[in-house]
Amino acid sequence: MTTTPKRLTNATAIDLFCGVGGMTHGLVKEGINVAAGIDNDPTCKYAYEKNNAAKFLQADIREIKASEIKALYPKGHTRILVGCAPCQPFSGYTSKQPKGDKWSLLYSFADLIEKTQPDIVSMENVPGLLKFKRPRIFNEFTQRLKDAGYHVTHSIVYCPDYGIPQTRSRLVLFASKYGDIKLIDKTRKQGEYKTVEDTIKNLPELSDGETCPDDPLHKAAKLSPMNKRRIEATPPAGGWKDWDKDLVLKCHTKKKGKSYVSVYGRMRWDSPAPTMTTLCTGIGNGRFGHPEQDRAISLREAALFQTFPKKYAFIDPAVKFCAKAISRQIGNAVPVTLGRVVAKSIKEHLAEHNDG
């Protein structure tokens, strides 16, 4: 008779930069207990706690004490610390080295790891983090973990390879006191990727500015008359280069503007969606036009592309509905399925290093 490894049955995670709980929900779905999520955005509290059996703590990672985090872990448990420091400073949308101190959140994360000494660490971020040289941010981060006694591995994950219906690539790092953690094998190959059609085709039709009476999250932004003409003139997989000249924005006629080929674009049914962002429900922010209907994708569609289950509650009945805030929450989230990939990789690692 086999027994479940003690390190796995007694594993508890804490989620830093948790947002509305994409990573947490993935861990929970795979049977990993999550004690708490920590984020400095109080608007995330409702969705995080409503959908996960974990408490939300509003705190700045640069100010919270290691002792506070340690106290959240049950005694004797395998301690897992996960986190996704804000990725905007390192994303492809940032053409220069990160300004200000946003990138320093990564170092604050390293500080907490050194002081709390969890058994397992996972970090999710944009691949662009590997390229920034201020100076060698990622190398400094990983070296600090190695110096603290961790085995560190990292991979670039192409989300469609794991059934996530968007062309997002993410950097996933693992660190363990027990040995190297191997990312689980891909679950899909090219030609089997989940598409826009697979994900949103069966949702009720909407006009711009309309909300589905049976689903308040299935809400599309209202378009100006000019933007309505623009989306009507955009073919599937097309964009502003397909328009008549009178519809083209002046900025797109300039040298720099000509390179932004995806803005005001439509998705196509037979491919994954583009990477969801905080502004993914506006047609002027990327290829976020519905493949067929003359509107941007709805909040519900964005959540489905982020692999949140339809029952995941984002709307706090005690707070006035704010589509912009919910769009930001959804766009900032770790896809739930990616959270499950992280969880499965950790579970396989703990099973391999069973202490009986």
Can you give the residue ranges of every domain in the chain? 6-191+334-352, 196-332
pLDDT tens-digit profile, the chain (356 residues): 344 445 667 899 999 999 999 999 999 999 999 999 999 999 999 999 999 999 999 999 999 999 999 999 999 999 999 998 775 444 444 444 445 555 678 889 999 999 999 999 999 998 888 876 555 888 999 999 999 999 999 999 999 999 999 999 999 999 999 999 999 999 999 999 999 999 999 999 999 999 999 999 999 999 999 999 999 999 988 988 888 788 887 766 655 444 456 689 999 999 999 999 999 999 988 899 999 999 999 999 999 999 999 999 999 999 999 999 999 999 999 999 999 999 999 999 999 997 64
Catalytically annotated residue among 84, 87, 159, 280: 87
Q: Three-class SS string for the chain? A: CCCCCHHHHCEEEEEECCCCCHHHHHHHHCCCEEEEEEECCHHHHHHHHHHCCCEEEECCCCCCCHHHHHCCCCCCCEEEEEECCCCHHHCCCCCCCCCCCCCHHHHHHHHHHHHHCCCEEEEEECHHHHCCCCCCHHHHHHHHHHHCCCEEEEEEEEHHHHCCCECCEEEEEEEECCCCCCCCCCCCCCCCCCCHHHHHCCCCCCCCCCEECCEEEEECCCCCHHHHHHHHCCCCCCCHHHCCHHHCCHHHHCCCHHHCCCCCCECCCCCCECCCCCCCCCHHHCCCECCCCCCECCHHHHHHHCCCCCCCCCCCCCCCCCHHHHHHHHHHCCCHHHHHHHHHHHHHHHHHCCCC
Class of domain 6-191+334-352: alpha beta
pLDDT of amino acid 4: 46
Q: Is 159 a catalytic residue?
A: no
**pTM, rounded to two decimals:** 0.91
CATH 3.90.120.10, domain 196-332, yes or no? yes
pLDDT of amino acid 126: 84
